[in-house]
């Protein structure tokens, strides 16, 4: 059984209607609030040199790769307060303590965000209710399959969670909600992954005057039986919370073959992985000064520092149009990247006109049909050796772009030469 092929069943539900969002945001004034404005770098004045690389997302997409992320999602930098509620049902009573369910995800998820964001996201998980919150209906009665907030079952469930928690929780204090469902409710993750996120949802039920519009629901355990659950099983939560910060799914109907294990929004089973530099820039974890925008005709040299290491230039972006371009970054083993088997320059195409789950990002495979270089369970193998190493060149004749990895430096950085015709 290959779980990654089943993850495709899961999806992010986002309803970013502009008019409705205005309403949702205006109700969340004050401290925190489960809709806290826009994510990522949005400053009014950005240097002219970087602007051609700030891809514009098409309006009307659910979750575009464009920058900035639309308003309504949770803030992705600074202190973010995450409310965690552990729920169970009379037909699926929680086994063990609710706090042990919480401990499956924390502090690992907080640490993952600290590492990936270079300390820019200070993720504060809180569990003000330390016992299982028993829902008034059975799990079966809610009819949870894969949900959208318009499904009556989900509306009912969210409303019942709010009602049960409200006497003990001030929802205004929080930026997002994680519902950690008892793992014995519903099918095994090997059969169907039910975990889902409702992000930027203006139709959400209201608690303490704020709509619960950014909520991740985590079901079952992503345990493939390899014995890795205690190390890696938490990784569904960074993925689901990624949606809360406005990131789209990178896996497609074909599974993880578009991006492989290079981003947690592509694969959240198996060994730890990080996020693409494009996503880190979108989330505000990289400054404009850490991005080289390659617009000049002729050849330009850049030096990239490992993405896993704090500081330095992390991405070169080569814009092809106002909505597409190629990104280059240096991936090595380190930080959240535990399974990199061929360190080198990763090249991928970003298309801000392609929606979540339809392949907005595609990694260029430097070694097609090689079978890859990893045997790590649940790591998409073929793209694991997709990187370009010194002496290798990527060319896209159609757009007149060539990228050559010209060498390394003593400190582990890589040099690349970008040529535009
Ligand atoms: Zn997802």
pLDDT band at 152 (very low <50, low <70, confident <90, very high): confident
Task: Give the C-alpha separation, 71 to 42, whole Å.
Answer: 10
Which residues make beta-bridge pairs with 200? Answer: none
Q: What's the 129 CA to ligand 1 centre distance in angstroms?
A: 27
User: Residue 186: which of 146, 226, 227, 137 has the closest Cα?
Assistant: 146
Q: What's the 395 CA to ligand 1 centre distance in angstroms?
A: 31
Task: Give the C-alpha separation, 153 to 147, whole Å.
Answer: 8
C-beta of residue 215 within 8 angstroms of C-beta of residue 162: no
Query: Which residues lie near ion ligand 1 (Cβ < 5 Å)?
Result: 12, 249
Q: What's the 380 CA to ligand 1 centre distance in angstroms?
A: 17
List where CATH 3.40.390 sits in the chain: 3-252
User: Residue 373: which of 340, 325, 421 has the closest Cα?
Assistant: 340
- CATH label, 3-252, candidates 3.10.450, 2.60.40, 3.40.390, 3.30.70: 3.40.390
Share in percent of the chain as helix, strand, coil (round to 5): 20, 25, 55
**Which two tokens mark 262?**
């290079």
Q: What's the 289 CA to ligand 1 centre distance in angstroms?
A: 30
Q: What is the pLDDT of residue 106?
A: 98
Q: Mind listing the pLDDT tens digit for each residue in 253-310?
A: 888 899 999 999 999 999 999 999 999 999 999 999 999 999 999 999 999 999 999 9
Q: What's the 17 CA to ligand 1 centre distance in angstroms?
A: 20
Task: Give the C-alpha separation, 11 to 254, whole Å.
Answer: 14
pLDDT band at 59 (very low <50, low <70, confident <90, very high): confident
Q: What's the 259 CA to ligand 1 centre distance in angstroms?
A: 14
C-beta of residue 232 within 8 angstroms of C-beta of residue 112: no
Residue 36, classed as helix, strand or coil, is coil
Q: What's the 10 CA to ligand 1 centre distance in angstroms?
A: 6
pLDDT at 144 over 90: no
Mean pLDDT along residues 171-195: 92
Q: Is the pTM value of this prediction over 0.85?
A: yes
Mean pLDDT along residues 169-179: 97
Q: What's the 249 CA to ligand 1 centre distance in angstroms?
A: 5
HSE-CB of 370 using CA atoms within 13 angstroms: 16
HSE-CB of 234 using CA atoms within 13 angstroms: 20
HSE-CB of 52 using CA atoms within 13 angstroms: 14
213 CA to centre of own chain: 17
Helix (H) or strand (E) holding 326: strand 324-331
C-beta of residue 367 within 8 angstroms of C-beta of residue 255: no
Q: What's the 274 CA to ligand 1 centre distance in angstroms?
A: 15
């Amino acid at each position: 059984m290959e779980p990654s092929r089943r993850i495709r069943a899961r999806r992010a539900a986002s309803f970013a209607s502009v008019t409705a969002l205005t309403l949702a945001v205006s109700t969340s004034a004050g401290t925190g609030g489960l809709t806290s404005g826009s994510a990522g770098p949005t400053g009014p004045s950005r240097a002219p040199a970087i602007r051609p690389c700030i891809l514009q997302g098409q309006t009307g997409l659910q979750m575009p790769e464009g920058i900035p992320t639309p308003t309504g999602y949770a803030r992705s930098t600074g202190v973010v307060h995450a409310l965690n509620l552990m729920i169970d049902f009379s037909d699926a009573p929680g086994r063990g303590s609710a706090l042990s369910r919480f401990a499956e995800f924390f502090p690992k998820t907080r640490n993952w965000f600290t590492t990936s964001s270079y300390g820019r996201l200070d993720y504060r998980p809180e569990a003000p209710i330390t016992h299982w919150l028993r829902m008034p209906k059975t799990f079966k009665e809610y009819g949870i399959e894969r949900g959208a907030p318009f499904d009556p079952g989900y509306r009912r469930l969210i409303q019942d969670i709010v009602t049960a928690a409200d006497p003990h929780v001030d929802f205004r204090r929080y930026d997002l909600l994680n519902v950690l469902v008892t793992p014995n409710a519903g099918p095994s993750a090997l059969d169907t992954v039910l975990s889902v996120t409702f992000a930027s949802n203006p139709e959400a039920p209201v608690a303490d005057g704020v709509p619960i519009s950014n909520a991740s629901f985590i079901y079952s355990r992503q345990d493939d039986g390899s014995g890795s659950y205690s190390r890696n099983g938490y990784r569904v939560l960074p993925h689901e919370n990624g949606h809360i910060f406005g990131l789209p799914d990178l896996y497609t109907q074909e599974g993880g073959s578009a991006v492989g294990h290079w981003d947690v929004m592509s694969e959240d089973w198996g060994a730890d992985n990080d996020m693409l530099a494009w996503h880190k820039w979108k989330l505000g974890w990289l400054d404009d000064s850490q991005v080289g925008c390659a617009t000049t005709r002729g050849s330009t040299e850049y030096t990239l520092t490992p993405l896993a290491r704090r500081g330095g230039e992390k991405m070169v972006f080569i814009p092809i149009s106002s909505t597409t371009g190629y990104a280059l970054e240096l991936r090595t083993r380190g930080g959240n990247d535990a399974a990199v088997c061929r360190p080198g320059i990763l090249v991928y195409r970003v298309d801000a006109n392609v929606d979540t789950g339809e392949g907005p990002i595609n990694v260029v495979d430097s070694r097609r049909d090689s079978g890859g270089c990893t045997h790590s369970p649940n790591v998409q193998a073929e793209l694991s050796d997709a990187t370009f190493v010194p002496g290798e060149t990527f060319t896209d004749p159609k757009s007149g772009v060539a990228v050559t990895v010209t060498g390394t430096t003593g400190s582990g950085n890589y040099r690349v030469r970008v040529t535009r015709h």
